[in-house]
Structure 1
Amino acid sequence: MKKSIFYCCVIFCIMVSQAYSQKKEQYLGNCTAYSVKGNKVVFSCANNSKIMLQLCSGEVVKIWASADGNFVRNNESFAVIEEDLGWKGNVTVKEEPSTYEIFTEQLRIRVNKAPFQLQIFDKYQKLLFSDYAEKGFVNDNGKIRTNKVLRNDEQFFGLGEKSGNLNRRGSAYKMWNSDQPCYGVNEDPLYKSIPFFMSSYRYGIFFDNTYKTEFKFGSESNDYYSFEAPAGQMVYYFMFGNDYKEIIQNYIALTGKPIMPPKWALGFSQCRGDYTREDQAREIAAEFRKRKIPCDIIYQDIGWTEGLQDFDWRKNNYNNPKGMVKDLSDMGFKMIVSQDPVISQANQQQWKEADALGHLVKDVRTGKSYDMPWPWGGNCGVVDFTKPEVADWWGSYQQKPLNDGVRGFWTDMGEPAWSNEDAVDRLNMKHHLGMHNEIHNVYGFTWDKVVTEQFYKHNPNKRIFQMTRAAYAGLQRYTFGWSGDSGNGSNVLDGWKQMANQIPVGLSAGMGLIPFWTCDISGYCGDIKDYDAMAELYVRWLQFGVFTPLSRAHHEGGNAVEPWKFGTEAENISRKSIELKYKLFPYLYTYAREAHDTGLPIMRALLLEYPNDKETFKLNGQFLVGKELLVAPVVEQGAVTKDVYLPEGEWIDFNNCKTKYKGEQWITVDAPLNTIPVFVKKGSIIPQMPVMQYIDEKKVYPVTFDIFPGNLNKETSFTFYEDDGESRDYERDVFCKTKITSKASNEEIKITVGEREYKGYSPAGPRNFILKIHASNKPKDVFAGGEKLKNVKPHVLEKNIEADFTKINWSWNEAENVISVRIPDSGKNAVITIKN
């Protein structure tokens, strides 16, 4: 009997508990009224809850659901800097018995009243986005969630720098900046939190919540997907676009344009964990120049500084640091140094200063500076970059190496390090702007903001180079990115999957507005004990890495990854790969400007250019560089062929410029160790420069335009962009552009060099253009305007190309099927007619 009573009590308690559990989940319930103020509509629902729709533009809608009806948040958005995106006037709400409707030129927004359900259609009445039943907003005792209808064919892309497949459908992800050395190919979370994604149904969502948000793209149900947060506000932005590129442009309208790096940042750079000595830096620089391997940047890792983080050169390691930096600069090298966001307690003078000024994050339990274990330098204090007074203090310190000639920083360990999900003690950190659970994901962001703004303050009108590991949405306004500690720490030779994973990581980073990105070429992790055995992996990693915008070779500790360490064959292949990057600089820099203007990454997923080709949704192993070049790196050990998907159009093997393939098919191409599968689309123009040992080794040089004429009577064009490459004048649109067009008919090919568009910048001096037209047959004649040009041998055409700016002639290369036309760059309109 007693047992029966006991079991009944247990069952009763469970039932009460379940009832209570269900009761504490609050939905919006029925919608009973609305009010309009300017571009905002507030809908009143059950239990005093409210939801606000704010029309930022006809395509962008801010959605804010509040359980208590108050639209208040602890901090204003860290990411969003502009909500006025063009909407004019008040919002008009049309009320029907069961719905409210709002119309823009692009959207039809419907609110179902009972219960509240938000739906957004395009102007053709196609459903784009919908709450899942009544669960469009769920408040579970402060934990907030929204559930959205999931269509059978809906796919998702984005969330910034994440591992795994490019397509997020069927997976779940967390936002919690985490120090994950040697991370796996599906490991999550990683270093950056960018809660922005795009749907194949032509919309994007930015969930503007800095807590540990989670996204579940059908991992729990085939009927709905969700995003949620343990605290904070349910604030998100809906962005419509006819394609992914338009969605990205709406996102940067909200969060800001990417800054452009100095042009030398698009060269090659070399690093190593123990790059911390003057003699070593000089030796490495000399070796690059001796071996004629192009290189622009040499990094110094965190051991360069005397103490964390006093920005003083380590006395025993650097005898004449200012002289070292100048000597390297004379050789064309730029030096970048690391900084960490902490002050070591062993660095007593600076520690006492920071502690006394209250510049360190506090321990909420004691009110004292938080005692943070750090991977090196002993226990540290975490600098509170959310405190306004810290900025000038930090800026004065970081200016010291800049005054010595250092050109920028890489901000490392900004998660802050060792503050992963399991490090719950870190949640006791109190920042000026809030507790750590709110600030964690934006901590690195606030640091990068200070670093950049202080750089600008102390170095007016100079571009910053800053590359970061930990970040939040909006980072593109202040910094560039790299993917952290990749590679296989257990067995460096088994790092092939980690290398392959860097391709979708980089493509996703680009769609999260990190257009200037790199990974650690060679993989950061793992001891290299057999350089001959490592050579193949190194070469293949570098062949991929030269097509990332900020190509950097880096490895942990004393594991050297300079190209010559891996043997003569690897060195020669690496040199050729790096030289290709330098030749393509005019092309890459033009797309760097496009990245600033539009947010579109240089290294881009094929779905950005071919959104209607469903095959592109699953392409994790290849990418576009700009629009015209398709790169398919070899990422399998021992492979000498590569399977490549070519989208619509006709594609030409860029390695020989003669082999052609039809698009919309998979092909298998030869890819021995010395070959990077690269393809150029028919109807493209690719500007190139001569190989240099560093960017601007020669201020003036001939520019070659490789022209691959399009189909008959279809115009091909490329607008070549130039600016000074160092100042911030580009932000004021100081530049020049030259448009090259090509149009082919049965009788002729007409090439037009357009009159240069001057916007306050001119090329540094006179130069020649070389138009290289890839054709099938030798032409009959070539004319400039109405004047017939002289046909010369190819070597004659190249003679004095950098000194003589008077000759206009042409040549035919039988082996390559190339017509070359040499003309001086006058800045004026010039028409070249090639008669077939």
Structure 2
Amino acid sequence: MKTINLASILLFFYGFIWSQDNINVSDAYVQSNNVLINLNNNSKMSLKFLDSKNIKFWFSKDGEFKRNNKSFAIINEVFEKDFKVNIEESTSMYEVFTGDLRIMIYKSPFKIQIYNKYQRLIMGDDNYSPYQVQGTQIKTNKILREDEHFFGLGEKTGTLDRRGNSYTMWNSDKPCYSELEDPLYKSIPFFMSSYKYGIFLDNTYKTKFDFGKENKKTFSFSAPNGPFIYYFMYGKDYKEIIKSYIKLTGKPIMPPKWALGWSQSRGVLTTEELTRNIAEEYRKRNIPCDIIYQDIGWVEGLQNFEWRKENYNNPKQMLSDLKTKGFKVIVSQDPVVSQATNKQWSEANANGYFVKDKRTNKSYDMPWPWGGNAGVVDFTLPEVANWWGNLQQKPINDGVKGFWTDMGEPAWSNEESTDRLNMVHHLGFHNEIHNVYGLTWDKIVTEQFEKHNPNQRIFQMTRAAYAGLQRYTFGWSGDSGNGEDVNAGWKNLANQIPLGLSAGLGLIPFWTTDISGYCGDIKDYNEFSELYVRWLQFGVFNPLSRAHHEGNNAVEPWLFGAEAEKLARQAIELKYKLHPYIYTYARTAYDTGLPIMRALVLEYPNDEKTFSIDDQFLLGKELLIAPVVKQGAKYRDVYLPKGEWIDYHTGDEYSGEQLIKYPVELSTIPIFAIKGAIITKSPVMQFIDEIKNAPVNIEIFPSEKKTSFELYEDDGLTNDYKINKFSKTLIEAQKNENTIRIDINKPLSTGYKSEIRNYLLEIHVSNKVKKIMLNGKKVKTKSKEKLEQSIDTKFDEATCSFSKKEKVIWIKIPDNKQNNSIEILL
């Protein structure tokens, strides 16, 4: 007797639930750049061609292309002005050809297949159920190839490669989340396939994505309600797809220069005394630091933006004093007003500024983790913007430098919190607004900051967000760590790497983990010190590096013992040395959407080994970082992709496309530079721009192939970067058998000019040096100590030094803002 597989029965039953008669095409026609397809069940499909590679799909089950709200994420659909398409009809299909794609629209049954110009299938509908409708729900099923892999969806736990897993978009407050928990705080319904396309599902409801978990032959995405709109983006690689995504959703804003320094926080860092003490300790111990955060307890009442009087004697003076020492203070915001903050709550309630309860039409009574029950501010209501902007400007006027917007899910509104679905916002019911609630808040915070502080660059870091957040804010990964046993947080640390890399692929290029992990009581600082050091050694390579922990669990480096303090200082100093390099890639992020912390697959998309690498990353293109995330590790497996790689610490050279077993101690952060790398650096400073006339250090690992790096600089504080006021300096290097040639080109200046300064070149060589020439003239030799003595005071002489032991040449030359050519004869 033939046996029936249970899985087959379940799959049949599930298909029956979603089933509908075969959909056939009645006709199709073109309106400018839009192909409209009429289907035999009164549904319609629209294919709007943004250009030859990018298509907007809109499936309407009732034949009407309407939506409650305009897109919260999309800001541009004009990729190529006046782009037009033609359609050709045959017996079985319609075809649309662009310069890059061939789109085949089958008539019976209806399905769409997209090929490239070489007739290779890029993305195709499932043969049997391309679109399934059940009530208000719509689901599309696509063909899943055996060798297809997926990356993206923003800040999600688990492996970087999403194949074989399913995910839900529903912003959720998940303290101490595991390495497999989903959903989390942010919803970014954008992913990319190894078949060189990306998909953005423009739907704010509780959407779902399944990459072959339910059915190994298909992948799917679905929405329970709302318009079923998704954008198909084709590109030669992931970078081109990301460029299309930022055309749709906007460029990421750049943070102030100082935001890329080190920052310190803790749950109850909410007093003037503690803030001053921490600042004093950092300077006394010579550990660089730029930012000190104040958590929610800084306010007198939630959320009136008034300093808590019993905690702060003179906040304006405190901020002024800290500024003289190079510190910036960031304060938190919550998106609610506590009923206990009677004056403000009454005002907001009377003006209708709170989200309503659909059962009573009164302000929704939200239980809040602190401050008692509260009203949830309705940031979709236009009148709220100026009211909130005036409130948040009060601490800015005192000297605060920015905000971190916390609890914007809004907090305690997870999947199981179904009562929250009774909330009604100005723009719709909560099931539609939930995922964009944090985005609407962050939009107001930034727009109001810029209104009150013209041309000042905002610092704003958020926990809950939706696609498009990059236009307004930065991100951090929320409450990570092990709350049951803080010392057992190694898996939590390890998963912050793929989570952060995926965040970068979802247009959150400016990001940080809570260094130390947020969760868990630290009862024995010596016991926790190894995990703390390893978390910090990863965290210094996050663009925004913040040490933070819950409650009164202090996580300043000196609390973990002398050895941990020393290692923390070394790691933080390295971050400051690399600041010019990182800041250059911050501009790249603004221009292209590419993250600073990069998954290897982004730079090496054809290397299948990179698909499964979750524990290392590239910082920019030139540096490979492999943090140690295992307790007591003596070795660390490191995969080196194509190219020649140089150990940043020892100078040892390795061929690429191999896995190496790298010995490690607690002091070790495995770092490799690609051969030919040019790394721009600065001297160690206690805060960004502390040293006036500081040199630009240029570290070079010469290659036989000519390589280059373009140093980016601007004022670091204003929004002038948006109108391209900057300076770019192209640096080129090449080595042959007897010569190394380095060219520092005249800066391209478009409204910004750097200070008077020197360049200090640090060139790694293996040969004996015979002579060094600058613009055809021999450079005189000095000891390295004498060379460095006048590095930031004397700007009219060129000198050099060579260490046979270190195999390094140091060359100091004035930055005269002209072309300079250095020739090293070996």
Q: Please tell me the TM-score bracket, short chain as reference.
A: over 0.9
Query: Which of the residues 157, 166, 173 maps onto 2:167?
Result: 173
1:702-742 per-position Cα deviation (integer Å, ceiling 9, x unaligned): 111111111x2x21100000000000000000000111101
- Residues 19 and 124 of structure 1: CA distance in aligned 2, closer, same or farther (over 3 Å): closer
Query: Which of the residues 713, 718, 734 maps onto 1:727?
Result: 718
Q: State the distance in 2 between where 1:121 and 1:796 align.
A: 64
Which residue of structure 2 lines up, in the alignment, with residue 666 of structure 1?
A: 659
Answer whether contact 1:588 1:602 (CA < 8 A) is retained.
yes
Segment drifting more, 559-568 vs 797-806: 797-806
- SS of the residue aligned with 1:427? helix
Answer whether contact 1:778 1:819 (CA < 8 A) is retained.
no
Gaps spanning 5+ residues in structure 1: where? 1-17
Query: Which of the residues 692, 697, 707 maps onto 2:690?
Result: 697
Per the TM alignment, residue 26 of structure 1 is displaced from its structure 2 partner at its CA by: 3.8
1:226-277 per-position Cα deviation (integer Å, ceiling 9, x unaligned): 0001111110000001111111111001000000000000000000000110
Per the TM alignment, residue 25 of structure 1 is displaced from its structure 2 partner at its CA by: 3.7
Which residue of structure 2 lines up, in the alignment, with residue 233 of structure 1?
A: 227
Amino acid corresponding to residue 793 of structure 2 in structure 1: A
Which residue of structure 2 lines up, in the alignment, with residue 786 of structure 1?
A: 776
Q: State the distance in 2 between where 1:798 and 1:653 align.
A: 25
Answer whether contact 2:205 2:432 (CA < 8 A) is retained.
yes
Q: State the distance in 2 between where 1:474 and 1:29 align.
A: 34
1:378-436 per-position Cα deviation (integer Å, ceiling 9, x unaligned): 00000000011100010000000000000000000000000000000000000000000
- SS of the residue aligned with 2:104? strand
Which residue of structure 1 lines up, in the alignment, with residue 593 of structure 2?
A: 599
Query: Which of the residues 581, 584, 591 maps onto 1:587?
Result: 581
Q: State the distance in 2 between where 1:225 and 1:147 align.
A: 6
1:625-658 per-position Cα deviation (integer Å, ceiling 9, x unaligned): 00000000000011122110000111111123x1
Amino acid corresponding to residue 180 of structure 2 in structure 1: N
Q: Does 1:222 align with 2:213?
A: no
Gaps spanning 5+ residues in structure 2: where? 1-11
Query: Which of the residues 483, 486, 489 maps onto 1:489?
Result: 483
Which residue of structure 2 lines up, in the alignment, with residue 739 of structure 1?
A: 730
Per the TM alignment, residue 87 of structure 1 is displaced from its structure 2 partner at its CA by: 4.8
Which residue of structure 2 lines up, in the alignment, with residue 681 of structure 1?
A: 674
The structure 1 segments of at least 4 consecutive aligned residues displaced by more than 3 Å after TM superposition are 18-28
- Residues 28 and 508 of structure 1: CA distance in aligned 2, closer, same or farther (over 3 Å): farther
Q: State the distance in 2 between where 1:822 and 1:547 align.
A: 28
Per the TM alignment, residue 521 of structure 1 is displaced from its structure 2 partner at its CA by: 0.2
After superposition, residues 91-130 of structure 1 pair within 5 angstroms as: 91-130=85-124
After superposition, residues 347-426 of structure 1 pair within 5 angstroms as: 347-426=341-420
Q: State the distance in 1 between where 2:488 and 2:15 align.
A: 48
After superposition, residues 338-349 of structure 1 pair within 5 angstroms as: 338-349=332-343
1:278-304 per-position Cα deviation (integer Å, ceiling 9, x unaligned): 111011100100001000000000000
Query: Which of the residues 720, 724, 740 maps onto 1:749?
Result: 740
Per the TM alignment, residue 27 of structure 1 is displaced from its structure 2 partner at its CA by: 6.1
Amino acid corresponding to residue 469 of structure 1 in structure 2: R
1:681-721 per-position Cα deviation (integer Å, ceiling 9, x unaligned): 101100110000000112320111111111x2x21100000
Answer whether contact 1:387 1:432 (CA < 8 A) is retained.
yes
1:175-216 per-position Cα deviation (integer Å, ceiling 9, x unaligned): 000000000000000000000000000000000110000000
Segment drifting more, 100-109 vs 184-193: 100-109
Amino acid corresponding to residue 736 of structure 1 in structure 2: S
Query: Which of the residues 71, 77, 84 maps onto 2:65?
Result: 71
Which residue of structure 1 lines up, in the alignment, with residue 6 of structure 2?
A: none
Coordinate RMSD, CA, aligned: 1.2
Q: Does 1:646 align with 2:646?
A: no
Which residue of structure 2 lines up, in the alignment, with residue 147 of structure 1?
A: 141
Q: State the distance in 2 between where 1:30 and 1:21 align.
A: 19
Q: State the distance in 1 between where 2:133 and 2:479 align.
A: 37
Per the TM alignment, residue 28 of structure 1 is displaced from its structure 2 partner at its CA by: 6.8
Query: Which of the residues 162, 176, 183 maps onto 2:177?
Result: 183
Per the TM alignment, residue 797 of structure 1 is displaced from its structure 2 partner at its CA by: 2.1
Query: Which of the residues 202, 206, 209 maps onto 2:200?
Result: 206
Which residue of structure 1 lines up, in the alignment, with residue 809 of structure 2?
A: 819
Per the TM alignment, residue 747 of structure 1 is displaced from its structure 2 partner at its CA by: 2.4
Amino acid corresponding to residue 770 of structure 1 in structure 2: L
Per the TM alignment, residue 99 of structure 1 is displaced from its structure 2 partner at its CA by: 1.1
Q: State the distance in 1 between where 2:184 and 2:643 align.
A: 37
Which residue of structure 1 lines up, in the alignment, with residue 614 of structure 2?
A: 620
- Residues 23 and 499 of structure 1: CA distance in aligned 2, closer, same or farther (over 3 Å): closer
Answer whether contact 1:743 1:749 (CA < 8 A) is retained.
yes
Segment drifting more, 635-644 vs 518-527: 635-644
Q: State the distance in 2 between where 1:691 and 1:480 align.
A: 25
Answer whether contact 1:25 1:141 (CA < 8 A) is retained.
no
Q: State the distance in 2 between where 1:89 and 1:206 align.
A: 21
Q: State the distance in 1 between where 2:67 and 2:22 align.
A: 19
Answer whether contact 1:448 1:479 (CA < 8 A) is retained.
yes
Per the TM alignment, residue 778 of structure 1 is displaced from its structure 2 partner at its CA by: 2.0
Q: State the distance in 2 between where 1:288 and 1:276 align.
A: 18
Which residue of structure 2 lines up, in the alignment, with residue 5 of structure 1?
A: none
Answer whether contact 2:695 2:758 (CA < 8 A) is retained.
yes
- Residues 124 and 21 of structure 1: CA distance in aligned 2, closer, same or farther (over 3 Å): closer
1:813-835 per-position Cα deviation (integer Å, ceiling 9, x unaligned): 11210112211001100111111
Per the TM alignment, residue 21 of structure 1 is displaced from its structure 2 partner at its CA by: 9.4
After superposition, residues 487-636 of structure 1 pair within 5 angstroms as: 487-636=481-630
Query: Which of the residues 247, 250, 254 maps onto 2:244?
Result: 250
Segment drifting more, 797-806 vs 536-545: 797-806
After superposition, residues 763-778 of structure 1 pair within 5 angstroms as: 763=754, 765-778=755-768
1:792-814 per-position Cα deviation (integer Å, ceiling 9, x unaligned): 22223223111111111221111
Answer whether contact 1:736 1:761 (CA < 8 A) is retained.
yes
Query: Which of the residues 310, 313, 325 maps onto 1:319?
Result: 313
Q: Does 1:802 align with 2:792?
A: yes
Per the TM alignment, residue 483 of structure 1 is displaced from its structure 2 partner at its CA by: 0.2
Q: State the distance in 2 between where 1:796 and 1:406 align.
A: 41
Query: Percent of aligned pairs with the same residue?
Result: 62
Per the TM alignment, residue 35 of structure 1 is displaced from its structure 2 partner at its CA by: 2.5
Q: State the distance in 1 between where 2:201 and 2:784 align.
A: 58
1:449-492 per-position Cα deviation (integer Å, ceiling 9, x unaligned): 00000000000000100000000000000000000000000000
Q: State the distance in 2 between where 1:811 and 1:107 align.
A: 57
Amino acid corresponding to residue 707 of structure 1 in structure 2: I
Q: State the distance in 2 between where 1:751 and 1:25 align.
A: 67
Q: State the distance in 2 between where 1:433 and 1:81 align.
A: 18
Which residue of structure 1 lines up, in the alignment, with residue 433 of structure 2?
A: 439
Answer whether contact 1:55 1:87 (CA < 8 A) is retained.
no
Q: State the distance in 1 between where 2:510 and 2:14 align.
A: 50
Per the TM alignment, residue 568 of structure 1 is displaced from its structure 2 partner at its CA by: 0.5
Answer whether contact 2:758 2:815 (CA < 8 A) is retained.
yes
Q: How many residues end up aligned between the 2 structures?
A: 815
Segment drifting more, 776-785 vs 84-93: 84-93
The normalised TM-score by structure 1 is: 0.96
Q: State the distance in 2 between where 1:324 and 1:139 align.
A: 60
- Residues 168 and 20 of structure 1: CA distance in aligned 2, closer, same or farther (over 3 Å): closer
Q: Does 1:637 align with 2:628?
A: no
Q: State the distance in 2 between where 1:184 and 1:386 align.
A: 32
Q: State the distance in 1 between where 2:13 and 2:734 align.
A: 73
Q: State the distance in 2 between where 1:628 and 1:19 align.
A: 52
Q: State the distance in 2 between where 1:637 and 1:61 align.
A: 48
Answer whether contact 2:29 2:87 (CA < 8 A) is retained.
no
Segment drifting more, 109-118 vs 476-485: 109-118
Answer whether contact 1:689 1:702 (CA < 8 A) is retained.
yes
Amino acid corresponding to residue 698 of structure 1 in structure 2: I
The normalised TM-score by structure 2 is: 0.98
Q: State the distance in 2 between where 1:321 and 1:717 align.
A: 47
Which residue of structure 1 lines up, in the alignment, with residue 44 of structure 2?
A: 50
